[in-house]
Copies of this chain bind each other. A is one copy, B any other.
Amino acid sequence: MTSLEQLAKQLTRLPGIGPKSASRLAYHLIKSDPQYNKQLAELIASIQDLVFPCPICGSFTETDPCPVCADPNRDRSVLCVVEQPQDVVTIAASGAYDGLFHVLGGALSPLEGIGPDKLDFARLLQRIEKESFHEVIIATNPTEEGDTTAMYLRHLLKGKKLTISRLASGLPIGGDLEYADRLTLARSLRGRVDFAD
């Protein structure tokens, strides 16, 4: 195998990169600025040494604790539970949330062998005991796995003095009814909100 084929083969192991894209990327890397290749290679080689899960919330960070957990201006009475570290970034970037986060590290999926022991429920319960949250917002994905995880979490938190909420599902803003899938439409009907003035 040539170095070009080796590079392309390694690139196909990345998510969303098929053989055609991989080959296109490999050819691009041969012709790109050598300085760029060096920088990219260094970042790829060192990223796992620089970035680690925050020991409190589980999101990826370069400082201990992460900037969100360390921020004195955030509302420490609300906890948003998400599946993945990148969900923290997405929700923080929405500007509509200023509480704390907890990363489960995935969603329950019996088919893929992901049971409660594989996710970070233990530390979540510890945090809820120790810290003084008033509300837990379950922000797992609106998928079968995310819904299962949300229901498991609701069961787990039953009896605790907490408001438990879940992100609303429904039509995406700017979307078109005509293009909404059946499940989303059904969910937006079941979850319809009072519109009285």
Contacts and interface: CB of A to CB of B under 8 A. Distances in A.
Contacts of A163: none
Contacts of A32: 13
A51 B3 contact: yes
A174 to B, nearest CB: 17
Contacts of A11: 40
Contact of A47 (B24, B29, B51, B62): B29
A7 interface: yes
Contact of A4 (B16, B21, B28, B47): B47
Given A13-B32, A14-B25, A37-B44, 4 more contacts: A3-B43, A4-B60, A37-B45, A41-B44
23 contacts: A2-B51, A4-B47, A4-B60, A6-B43, A10-B39, A10-B40, A10-B43, A13-B32, A13-B36, A14-B28, A15-B28, A16-B24, A16-B25, A23-B86, A23-B89, A24-B86, A27-B60, A27-B85, A30-B47, A34-B48, A37-B48, A41-B41, A44-B44
